[in-house]
Amino acid sequence: MHRTLLITAFLFLLNAALSLAGGLLIGKGDPREVFDDIQQGIAAGNVSLFSSHFHTQVHVTLRGGESGLYSANQAYYLLQNYFRDRKPASFAFTTFGESDTNPYATGSLAFNMRGSRGHAQVYAALSHNGERWVVTHMNIY
């Protein structure tokens, strides 16, 4: 009886601890899921695949173009215009900065523009907002 009570108490505490830890992890979400959406969207040249993750204001820097703090709508159109002129040939994030507050990822983009191949470095940074991760910085240089 005593042993059964101890095992039951142990399992109860273990379950409570795992539920609490799982809730903390699930509540924050996984920033890698956002980076996956960004990677797929950039590779396809389709900003719609990741624009739902934009914060209300996004800092965007484009080499040879715009740089500043833009509304989510403005950031969408800036990036969509960028990819209209530069058709992605390949893109993948290669470096991830693991951070509890501001994770980031960088990668290399190869694109075609007016018959020529171009290359750019992409940097994306996230911030936690409420129950989800949002894109706060998007640099292509």
Single pTM value for the model:
0.80
The tens digit of pLDDT for each residue in 13-28 reads 334 333 333 333 333 5
Count CB-CB contacts under 10 A for residue 61. Answer: 15
The tens digit of pLDDT for each residue in 27-78 reads 358 999 999 999 999 999 999 999 999 999 999 999 988 999 999 999 999 9
| Chain mean position to CA 65 | 22
Q: CA-to-CA distance for 72 and 129, rounded, in angstroms?
A: 14
